[in-house]
């Protein structure tokens, strides 16, 4: 299978697609902005903080409360949950709060549990994603999702748009002991599914997606400026970086 950008072949002999989820399949602004607001509310209430710190806590996790959107290089939806927790922990320490990452992790889990009932309302596919997933399906390509989020959220995202049948496997943070950028999650998926690294294409929106592929021995990487990493930064990592999937087709 050939992958084209603006009608020019950029990858050839591809039979497997590894998708990221946030800001690659779904619009992270809707989903993660709401989760970040709820996390900040939970933190404020738990530590009995003054509401004036709400915006600071949100921005620390990556949400600009003025625009309602995630900031460039936002920790949330880009970095691992552990890294977001560490950033929040350090911020709370700077505010004089004696918190712990374990305690904050419990707060995050409470938010997740409460959010599940309304999560579907905040899942929006990015443009051209559905069409491309179905094109790959028609070409009999194997498709997988590897996300730093939990597996259940990824499944919910594709189920909402009746795309779950297109994926041979969905992998989240609890399936692995190491973060995506180490390449270990992808290497395990390759081993479990008897995949050929040379015929895999990884599609993502951030440096961690590039690092995951590189550290797993996968050379084919397509990066998209649909997330919170500037396109110019992505283009310094790979030549095959584009503003969105609108220019991508299958041959």
Mapping DSSP onto H, E and C, the string for 135-155 reads HHHHCCCEEEEECCCCHHHHH
Q: Using the 3D structure, point to which of 121, 153, 187 is the last residue of a domain.
A: 121
21 and 56 share one domain: no
74 and 117 share one domain: yes
Q: Using the 3D structure, point to which of 121, 140, 175 is the last residue of a domain.
A: 121
Q: Which of 225, 173, 177, 219 is nearest to 200 (CA)?
A: 219
Q: Using the 3D structure, point to which of 121, 146, 171 is the last residue of a domain.
A: 121
For residues 251 and 9, is the Cβ–Cβ distance under 8 A?
yes
Higher pLDDT, 180 or 73: 180
Give the helix/strand (H/E) hosting 10. strand 8-11
81 and 177 share one domain: no
135 and 151 share one domain: yes
What tens digit of pLDDT does each residue of 174-231 get?
899 899 999 999 999 999 999 999 999 999 999 999 999 999 999 999 999 999 899 9
**What average pLDDT does the segment 70-96 reach?**
86
Going from the C-alpha of 3 to that of each of 127, 207, 221, the distances in angstroms are 18, 21, 11
CATH number for the domain including 21?
A: 3.40.50.1000
Structural domain containing residue 95: 29-121
What tens digit of pLDDT does each residue of 132-166 get?
999 999 999 999 999 988 899 899 999 999 999 99
Q: Which of 76, 209, 200 is nearest to 136 (CA)?
A: 200
> Going by DSSP bridges, is the β-strand pair 248-250/16-19 parallel, antiparallel, or unpaired?
unpaired
66 and 161 share one domain: no
109 and 15 share one domain: no
Average pLDDT, the chain: 94
- Residue 70's pLDDT is what? 87
15 and 45 share one domain: no
Q: Name the CA dihedral angle for 211, 217, 221, 224, rounded to a multiple of 10 degrees.
A: -20
State both tokens at 224: 């998209």
- Residue 76's pLDDT is what? 82
144 and 194 share one domain: yes
d(CA 16, CA 144): 8
Number of structural domains found in the chain: 2
Residue with token string 């989820």: 21
> Going by DSSP bridges, is the β-strand pair 69-70/142-146 parallel, antiparallel, or unpaired?
unpaired
Q: Which of 151, 218, 221 is nearest to 183 (CA)?
A: 218
161 and 86 share one domain: no
d(CA 167, CA 150): 16
């Amino acid at each position: 299978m050939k992958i084209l950008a603006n009608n020019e072949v950029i990858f050839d002999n591809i039979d497997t697609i590894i998708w990221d989820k946030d800001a690659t399949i779904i619009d992270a602004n809707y989903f993660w902005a709401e989760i970040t607001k709820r996390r900040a509310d939970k933190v404020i209430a738990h530590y009995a903080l003054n509401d004036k710190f709400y915006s600071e806590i949100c921005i620390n996790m990556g949400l600009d409360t003025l625009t309602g959107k995630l900031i460039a290089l936002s920790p949330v939806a880009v970095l691992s949950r552990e890294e977001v927790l560490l950033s929040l922990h350090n911020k709370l320490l700077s505010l004089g709060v004696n918190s712990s990452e374990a305690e904050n992790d419990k707060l995050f889990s409470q938010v997740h549990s409460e959010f599940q009932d309304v999560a579907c309302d905040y899942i929006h596919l990015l443009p051209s994603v559905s069409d491309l997933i179905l094109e790959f399906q028609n070409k009999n390509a194997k498709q997988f999702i590897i996300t730093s989020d939990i597996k259940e959220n990824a499944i919910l995202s594709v189920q909402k748009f009746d795309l779950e049948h297109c994926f041979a496997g969905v992998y989240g943070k609890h399936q692995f002991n190491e973060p995506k950028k180490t390449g270990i999650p992808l290497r395990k998926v390759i081993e479990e599914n008897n995949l050929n690294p040379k015929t895999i294409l990884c599609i993502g929106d951030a440096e961690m997606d590039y690092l995951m592929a590189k550290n797993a021995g996968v050379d084919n990487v397509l990066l998209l400026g649909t997330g919170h990493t500037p396109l110019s930064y992505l283009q310094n990592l790979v030549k095959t970086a584009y503003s969105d999937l609108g220019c991508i087709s299958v041959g």
